[in-house]
A and B are shown apart, each in its own frame.
Chain A
Amino acid sequence: MIAQSENAGPAAATAPIGVAGVGMTRFASTDDRSLLELLETASETAIEDADLDRSTIDTVIVGNMAAEAFNRRSGLANALVASIGINGADARRIENTSASGASAFLTGVDAIRAGRASTVLVVGGEKMSSADVATSTDIISRITHHAEYEHGITLPSFAGLAADRYLREHDIDREELARVPVKSHKNASENPYAQFNNRITVEEALSSPRISTPLRLYDCCPTSDGAAAVVLTAGEEAVTVAGCEGASGVHAVADRPNPLRIESVRRAGRSVYDAADIEPNDIDVACIHDAFSILEWLEMEELGLADHGEAWTLTRDGETDLDGALPVNPGGGLKARGHPLGATGISQIIELVWQLRGELPSNRAVPDPEYGLAINVAGFGNNSICSILEATV
């Protein structure tokens, strides 16, 4: 039992908050544009999609994890507003490791909920290609507790331990886990914004290079360049924010009483279901933070989308496929759409908006969704932000 401060609970219901516009760059292993150019491009696309006068944007929130480490720059929010004609707006950057994107989204939602803002541009981005894999791994592993860092523990090694424990505890064949990235790559193959458009087989996943056993290359998200943006407005749009809530967990992963439980995901999920006044079985489509294949199962179980120890059966039975009962990561997820850290949480929101507007081609679309859920996770569960969007038209 970990007794952390209880959340104050979901914010009181207020006037509707609509998602007026969305835009993102295609995620890529390497994008020649600078981080600022990526943020500008995504922002311009979202503003154009919102079809509003940019002078009405009174607040700009930028999500980014590590521009100082990856790109040797800071001051992103100020540079952005001055570049795209929104100078004068209240502008700042939010950092919450790999949940920086959804944390920026939550900050924008809060600004409208609090009555401080009426039109908010939320944009997240990361340019990771400027560092090699070892350097990126080191930058990201510095979010761990210092005692974990001393042992050379990386995010993939947390996932390797969790996968080893889960497969043993529930007596599951290793190939079942490989079905998660196979599904993600299949979905991404139809997504023009995804980093990877290649389909893979279970056999290819199981024979890819070892990363942190039992996990292999295809169990792990890539490093990515990219940006994603949304425009939020006070008022109803075709898609509205039914809830957006965050929660933290313990810092050291081993401090969890059960290493297969992710307290922050459970808490954020519980709060957002309360805020939206719906139950897990009301969710029609979900964007899960699958930085590693095993996380898709663990997070679904924490969110009540599957019973504990049973999420793998939904993957096995095709229930999480695009035409299944609960499509998960229809855009390819972090694994195949890509994971430019500060952009990821917002790209999940954009995928839900596209699905809920019903404007995707049939080979990409979930049939007639009403509610979509996104969970964006910091570190290996140190902090989570869960959002529920609703189709209102």
Chain B
Amino acid sequence: MTDVLECTDCGQRTFYEKRRCLVCAADSFERRDPGVGELLATTTSHVTVDGVRNPNRLGLARFDGDTNVIAQLDGDLEPGDAVRLEDGAELRETDAGTLRGGRLELAD
């Protein structure tokens, strides 16, 4: 989840896979680089489930097109910081192995 999905009909963006666009119900998306976003809120979760780091720091970030994502967060980032999604982070362990994906990091 480091790409944003852009509806080919109306341009609405989402980070969350779905069959049809939330706005126009079209069924075709193109993958885009979301670029740099702004961190809006953070939390550190101290009650996590098996296979997930503890504590688990999470961030809510807004990207171009008012597109929001909630993702694991690295470092001491604070709301207002510029962030990007960096691929390859170890998100959680499952019976099928390690799940990797995008984690929010400070944008250069």
Q: Which residues of A contact B (CB under 8 A)?
A: 1-4, 133-134, 137-138, 141, 145-148, 150-154, 156-158, 160-165, 168, 209-215, 250-257, 259
Name 20 extra pairs, CB < 8 A, besides A146-B17, A165-B60, A254-B70.
A3-B23, A4-B22, A133-B47, A147-B101, A148-B70, A152-B56, A154-B45, A157-B43, A165-B40, A165-B41, A209-B46, A211-B46, A212-B43, A212-B44, A252-B15, A253-B70, A254-B60, A255-B14, A255-B22, A259-B40
Q: Which residues of A contact B56 (CB under 8 A)?
A: 151-152, 157
Pair B23/A2 contact, Cβ less than 8 Å: yes
Instruction: Return chain A residues, CB-CB under 8 Å to B59.
Output: 161
> From A152, which residue of chain B is reached at the shortest CB distance?
B52
Interface residues of B in 11-55 (CB under 8 A from A): 14-18, 22-25, 40-53
Contact A213 B15 (CB under 8 A): no
Q: Which of B23, B45, B50, B92 contacts A212, CB < 8 Å?
A: B45
User: Which of A2, A164, A209, A253 has its CB near the most chain B CB atoms (within 10 A)?
Assistant: A164
| B83 interfacial contact with A, CB 8 Å | no
Within 8 Å CB of B25, what residues of A? 3
Q: Contacts A147-B1, A161-B60 given: A154-B48 contact, CB under 8 Å? A: yes
In the complex, are the beta carbons of A157 and B60 less than 8 A apart? no
> Do A160 and B45 touch across chains, with their CB atoms under 8 A apart?
yes
A164 x B24 contact (CB < 8 A):
no
CB distance A164 to B41 under 8 Å? yes
Report yes or no: B46 in contact with A210, Cβ–Cβ below 8 A: yes
Q: Is the CB of B47 within 8 A of A168?
A: no
The answer to whether B1 touches A254 (Cβ under 8 A) is: no
Chain A to chain B contacts (Cβ below 8 Å), 13 pairs: A1-B23, A3-B23, A134-B49, A147-B101, A148-B70, A150-B91, A152-B45, A156-B45, A157-B43, A162-B41, A213-B46, A250-B22, A257-B68
- Contact partner of A213 (CB less than 8 A), chosen from B43, B52, B69, B99, is B43
**Number of inter-chain CB pairs below 8 Å:** 129
Instruction: List chain A residues, Cβ under 8 A from B53.
Output: 152
Given the complex of chains A and B, what is the CA–CA distance between A178 and B56 in angstroms?
A: 23
In the complex, how many angstroms separate the beta carbon of A368 from the nearest chain B beta carbon? Answer: 41
Asked whether, in the complex, the Cβ of A161 is within 8 Å of the Cβ of B58, the reply is: yes
Distance, CA A271 to CA B41, complexed state (A): 31
Q: Which residues on the A side are within 8 Å of B47 (C-beta)?
A: 133-134, 137, 154, 156, 211-212
Of all chain B residues, which has the CB nearest A215? B43
- Check B71 for interface membership: any CB of A closer than 8 A: yes
B44–chain A nearest beta-carbon distance, Å = 5
A150-B99, A254-B15 known; A168+B49 contact, CB < 8 A: no
Q: Is the CB of A150 within 8 A of B60?
A: no
- CB of A146 to closest CB in B, whole Å: 8
B86 at the interface (CB under 8 A from A): no
- Smallest CB–CB gap between B99 and chain A, Å? 5
Give complex CA distance A253, B79 in Å.
Answer: 18
With both beta carbons as reference points, the residue of chain B lying nearest to A213 in the complex is identified as: B44
Residue of A nearest to B21 (CB): A3
Residue contact A134 to B17, C-beta cutoff 8 Å: no
A251 touches B101 (CB 8 A): no
Shortest Cβ distance from A164 into B: residue: B41
Q: How far is the CA of A251 from the CA of B50 in the complex (A)?
A: 23
What residue of chain A has the Cβ atom nearest to residue B103's Cβ? A151
B66 within 8 A of A: yes
Knowing A211-B47, A259-B60, the reply to whether A164 touches B42 (Cβ < 8 A) is yes
State in angstroms the CA–CA spacing of A164 and B78 once bound together: 11
Contact of A152 with B22 in the complex, beta carbons under 8 Å: no
Q: Are B58 and A157 neighbours in the complex by a CB distance under 8 Å?
A: yes
Contact of B91 among A152, A157, A163, A165 (CB under 8 A): A152
Bound-state Cα–Cα, A212 to B53, Å: 13
In the complex, chain B residues whose CB is within 8 Å of the CB of A146? 17
Are B16 and A145 interface neighbours, CB within 8 A?
yes
- Flag if B68 contacts A259 (CB, 8 Å): yes
Whole-angstrom distance from the CB of A137 to the nearest CB of chain B? 5
The answer for the CA separation of A307 and B60 in the assembled complex, in Å, is 24
Expressed in whole angstroms, the minimum distance between the Cβ of B62 and any Cβ of chain A is: 9
Name the residue in A4, A151, A214, A253 with the highest tally of chain B Cβ atoms < 10 Å from its Cβ: A151
